[in-house]
Amino acid sequence: MKKKRPFLLKLIIISLAIIAVMGWLRVYQSIYQWETLLRFGVRPGPWYSLISGAVIGVVGTIAVVSTWLRFAWSQKYVQISIVILAAGWWLDYLIFSRSSIAFYNFPFRIVVTSVYLGFVFGYFYLTKNKSPKG
């Protein structure tokens, strides 16, 4: 009988699914609002949000599926991908935020990002001796 997935692992999978869905929704909105984005001259433009949304969606979907299926490489993949996604999210935020109001919750964003990364890395570190299937 297969061992059940621990609650904290399910929480990580759900958070990765939310990230993946947000990426796919970004793709959808880029396509759906393409003309509006061009008409108002939104920068960096619809291509940027389309491509970045697709990358987020693909990376997140692979992370969800591989972690749910308990592949041996999934823990390392999730750790690497959340670092890349967090770095991309921060670069996007810092480069394209033009209003000072956007930086109002800057400390909160730092804390939440740190807690999330610490949670995922901590969980996988503490459970690294578990033997996932190859």
58-117 confidence digits (pLDDT tens) = 999 999 999 999 999 999 999 999 999 999 999 999 888 877 787 888 899 999 999 999
Specify if 53 maps to a domain: yes
Task: Count up the domains in the chain and report the number.
Answer: 1
Q: What is the domain range of residue 86?
A: 7-126
Query: Per the confidence metrics, is the pTM higher than 0.85?
Result: yes
Residue 133 placed within a domain: no
DSSP symbols for 13-67: HHHHHHHHHHHHHHHHHHHHTHHHHHHTT-SS-HHHHHHHHHHHHHHHHHHHHHH
- Please indicate, yes or no, if residue 71 is contained in any of the structural domains: yes
115 belongs to a structural domain = yes
